[in-house]
């Protein structure tokens, strides 16, 4: 009897664990195409938001994308006062 209850509890636990999305905690749904500027450029972060500034400051991949980007639209965005980070070319 104890074995059946234990087995049932394990099955229930694993079913519930698998039902939770992988990014349930503070997923920041900004991850992919989170910010689009008026020029149509897609960025991961909207740097006018303090929370995105913090995330961007620790996201080396997003910073590297910005450094490697050859997009001329970034200059248009900056001129319009729009600051995105983690560009998606």
- Model confidence, pTM: 0.62
Cα→Cα distances 59→21, 30, 44, 50, Å = 22, 13, 10, 14
- Per-residue pLDDT at 26: 41
Contact yes or no for 74/30 (Cβ under 8 A):
no
Cβ pair 34, 43 in contact under 8 A: yes
Residue 35 has pLDDT above 60, yes or no: yes
d(CA 42, CA 46) in angstroms, rounded, equals 10
Percentage, residues of the chain above pLDDT 70: 63
The count of other CB atoms within 10 Å of the CB of residue 59 is 16
């Amino acid at each position: 009897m104890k074995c059946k209850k234990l087995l049932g509890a394990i099955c229930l636990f694993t079913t519930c664990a698998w039902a939770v999305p992988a990014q349930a905690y503070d997923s920041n749904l900004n991850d992919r195409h989170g910010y689009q500027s008026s020029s149509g450029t897609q960025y991961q972060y909207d740097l006018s938001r303090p929370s995105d500034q913090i995330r961007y400051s620790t996201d080396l991949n997003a910073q590297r994308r910005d450094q490697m980007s050859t997009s001329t639209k970034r200059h248009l965005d900056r001129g319009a006062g729009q600051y995105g980070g983690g560009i998606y070319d």
